[in-house]
Amino acid sequence: MTTRERLEAKLDRRQEWADKATARSQQHADTAYQMADAIPMGQPILVGHHSEKRDRRYRERIGGHASRSVEEAQKAQHHASKADGLERQLDRSIFSDDPDAVEALEAKVEALETERDAMKRANAAGGKVPLCNYSATEPVPCVSRFGGGELRLRQVEMSKAEYAAIHKDYRGTQVVAGSHRVRAAMIRHELVSVFLMDTKVTPPPAPAPTTKKPCATWEISNLGARIRQAKERIADVQRQQERTEQAEDAGGVHIVTNEGANWCTVTFAEKPERDVLDALRDAGYRWGAGCWSGYADRLPAIVRDLAPLPAESGHSPADHARAQAAGPQ
């Protein structure tokens, strides 16, 4: 089972738990309402009457159902929140064991490079670009600072007070063609441009370069770091896929030993059973770069017995360096 499949199964469980908790909450609430309807409006507890104890117990049961309804509603909200987080993680993440992980990472690198080039072009055009406020009939083309190259933002009209009510982390400005800026905000998970209806209209000017650059140097540097990290991850994923293919060709387990360094790496085609993982951990092996690494003379017998082929000798220098960096526990 891949990482994405495990998270999808966890998402299904969370959604199921949320639905069941919601149903239980509604059931307790309905029971409390039905029991409360049996008491006449304004009917007090008759102190000293033979029905006093029974009436008090009855009302306590109503309160108990109401409390359990609130508790179950809170559980449902908790599970629904966790499910939303898992859904966002599945939408945004690229997992190393995804079949199209390399293609997705390459597309991410291309998008980041496009964004960086657009920001460099905006800086080359020069200028502290002015902030403009105008109504646009077409989507506004902006230079994205959050990945994806050029963006075409749908425009939303709102008042100055409505714009100020948006949290500061979800509003700001976007550069348009290096000539001016427009207000932007994140509304319902969508980045949009904003036209303030009760603010003076300022149409976009012709490009007028000045000495200040519209995109900060640190933003471009951060993009460069993200590009390098993505490229390094592509190389790691490719190495991991190569190891997995070797493990499949070897019958499920691929063992490579370096007798001179007393070091060993173990790669499984699929996730092994719990007792195998426990044996590796007890022997001081650590997981990293798609394989288990540790001292060759500590290789558990249960792992050696799983390998249909004898262990291969030798490491590539890069593999051995990474294994030594991981080190034994």
Cα(95)–Cα(229) distance, integer angstroms? 14
Cα(104)–Cα(110) distance, integer angstroms? 10
Confirm whether 125 is domain-assigned: yes
Q: Are residue 148 and residue 202 in the same domain, yes or no?
A: yes
pLDDT at 323: 47
Among 92, 121, 150, the domain-final residue is 92
Helix/strand/coil for 34: helix
Ranking 104-113, 281-290, 306-315 by mean pLDDT, the lowest is 306-315
- Work out the mean pLDDT of the chain and round it to a whole number: 85
Confirm whether 201 is domain-assigned: yes
pLDDT at 289: 75
| Burial status of residue 82 (CB atoms within 10 A of its CB: 0-12, 13-18, 19 or more) | middle
Higher confidence at residue 76 or residue 322?
Answer: 76
Confirm whether 128 is domain-assigned: yes
Nearest CA to 141 out of 133, 132, 149, 150 is that of 150
Which pair of tokens denotes residue 327? 């080190």
Give 161-177 pLDDT, tens digit per residue: 999 999 988 998 888 86
Report whether 163 contacts 196 (CB < 8 A).
Answer: yes
Q: Are residue 34 and residue 71 in the same domain, yes or no?
A: yes
Report whether 193 contacts 163 (CB < 8 A).
Answer: no
How many domains, the chain? 3
| Cα–Cα distances in angstroms (integers) from residue 95 to residues 62, 133, 226, in the given order | 49, 41, 16
| Cα–Cα distances in angstroms (integers) from residue 240 to residues 2, 99, 104, 278, 313, in the given order | 14, 12, 16, 22, 19
φ, ψ of residue 316 to 5 degrees: the values are -75, 150
Is 96 a residue whose pLDDT tops 80?
yes
Ranking 115-124, 236-245, 263-272 by mean pLDDT, the lowest is 115-124
Confirm whether 236 is domain-assigned: no
Give 122-161 pLDDT, tens digit per residue: 777 655 668 899 998 889 888 766 544 678 899 999 999 9
Highest mean pLDDT among 71-75, 126-130, 141-145, 183-187: 71-75
Q: List the domain range (segments joined by +) for residue 294.
A: 250-326
Q: Are residue 81 and residue 137 in the same domain, yes or no?
A: no
**290-305 burial, b for 16+ CB within 10 Å, e for fewer?**
bbbbbebeebbeebee
% residues pLDDT > 70 (the chain): 86
Q: Are residue 155 and residue 209 in the same domain, yes or no?
A: yes
Nearest CA to 323 out of 280, 296, 286 is that of 286
Average pLDDT over residues 44-52: 87
Q: Are residue 207 and residue 136 in the same domain, yes or no?
A: yes
Confirm whether 237 is domain-assigned: no
Q: Are residue 83 and residue 113 in the same domain, yes or no?
A: no
| Burial status of residue 240 (CB atoms within 10 A of its CB: 0-12, 13-18, 19 or more) | middle
Higher confidence at residue 325 or residue 118?
Answer: 118
